Structure 1
Amino acid sequence: MASDPSDRTTLLLKRMCEGDAQAEGELYAHLYGDLQRRARAMMRAQGPAHTLQSTALVNEAWLKLTGLTDPDWQDRKHFVRVAARAMRCVLVDHARAKQTARRDGGLRRPLGDEISDRERSSWRVLALDEALERLERSEPQSFRVAELRIFGGLSHAEIADSMEVSTRTVERAWSSARAWLMRELEADAEG
């Protein structure tokens, strides 16, 4: 087996694609620590009011990843990009479920009631997801950088490696994405 963790990941992904049932368990054990670290960082950024735990985030994202029909995993970089998207989906699904539970639970409040931190957290995730969808349409490269940074927990160097661009390109795209998202989220909050 290869000594480079990236090479080992790629080998395990290829074995999975070839139908090797044991490879999935090996891949999970191989990547779990890294995915857990990224999920913890992401959940810290969500704030203490968020109810989803990092372990649940990793497990649900893993189920999404391994539940894909005929995945064509190319390498670790490809897997990391898809894992970031899966974590985003889990967070958004969780926030939507919270919103639906409130709406369907018959819990009506007078307009003057204060919004809880947990409700605010769900709304922030959904607002960010909607803003990212708009960013994807207008600035695809900035969107990819933002998604990997926010939902993948990747550093600029890791994003550059994953996207096969320079670190400086990633820094410019992140700066642009962050400014764009802040404007969009402020506009959403105002009105």
Structure 2
Amino acid sequence: MSEELPLSDVTVWLNQQAADADGVGNHLFAVLYDELRRLARGHLRHEAAGHTLSATALSHEAWFRLAAQTRTQWRNRGHFLAVASMMMRRILVNHELAWRADKRAAERAAITLSGLEQLALPADRDVVAVHEALLALEAVDARAAKVVELRFFGGLENEEVAEVLAISLATVKRDWTLARAWLHRELTDG
């Protein structure tokens, strides 16, 4: 379906998806597909060229995992996309960990993030190191970690992050500055 749905309709459909008696999930996927692919491309932009997951595969895997969520009460399209972004990051981290566990992994080059200049981090830090640092930040400041996740991994702008987290734009900017400095220290000292 190419027509744009009002945000309220998408929210209702998200919450009806669990029942899916009328194919709501399939229609909803079609409506949100372009946005899921945009998020996936944003995540893969930080991966090395030749990554074995495509934006399509990442989008579909995230959708299947999100569709299995039956207890989540979606607040709006932004909430859904924020959770989709987190799911994509987890998929990429799990993919990297599985790749590392492979016996032949020693022969391959490590997957590295290429957009770390946004966080002022060294370009040779891989997705697992960034993930672990983000988990450590989450233990110290969960909101700042969420801001990083949405901005860096999800590709959202400050205004979108503020809306999704229901905080002020100034708070997003403060958290982003704090998180960048914290992650830089965490990843360069290690």
Q: Name the TM-score, length of structure 2 as normaliser.
A: 0.82
* Residues 46 and 112, structure 2, Cα contact 8 Å, conserved in 1: no
* Residues 15 and 74, structure 2, Cα contact 8 Å, conserved in 1: yes
How far off its partner does 1:49 sit? 4.7
Query: Quick one: structure 1 residues 96 and 18, their matched pair in 2 at CA, closer, same or farther if it must change by over 3 Å?
Result: same
* The one of 117, 121, 125 aligned to 2:112: 121
Which consecutive residues of structure 2, in runs of 5 or more, have no partner in the other structure? 114-124
Between the two proteins, the alignment pairs up a number of residues equal to 177
Which is helix-richer, 1 or 2?
A: 1
Question: Rg: which structure is higher?
Answer: 1
Structure 1 residue aligned with 2:39: 38
Structure 2 residue aligned with 1:143: 145
Structure 2 residue aligned with 1:158: 160
Structure 1 residue aligned with 2:64: 63
How far off its partner does 1:131 sit? 0.4
Question: 4+ residue stretches of structure 1 with deviation over 3 A?
Answer: 17-21
How far off its partner does 1:161 sit? 0.7
Structure 1 residue aligned with 2:73: 72
Query: Quick one: structure 1 residues 108 and 73, their matched pair in 2 at CA, closer, same or farther if it must change by over 3 Å?
Result: closer
Which consecutive residues of structure 1, in runs of 5 or more, have no partner in the other structure? 110-114
Structure 2 residue aligned with 1:174: 176
Distance 1:9 1:108 in 2: 45
Distance 1:108 1:169 in 2: 43
How far off its partner does 1:77 sit? 3.0
Distance 2:154 2:54 in 1: 16
RMSD: 2.3
Structure 1 residue aligned with 2:133: 131
Query: Quick one: structure 1 residues 180 and 131, their matched pair in 2 at CA, closer, same or farther if it must change by over 3 Å?
Result: same
Structure 1 residue aligned with 2:27: 26
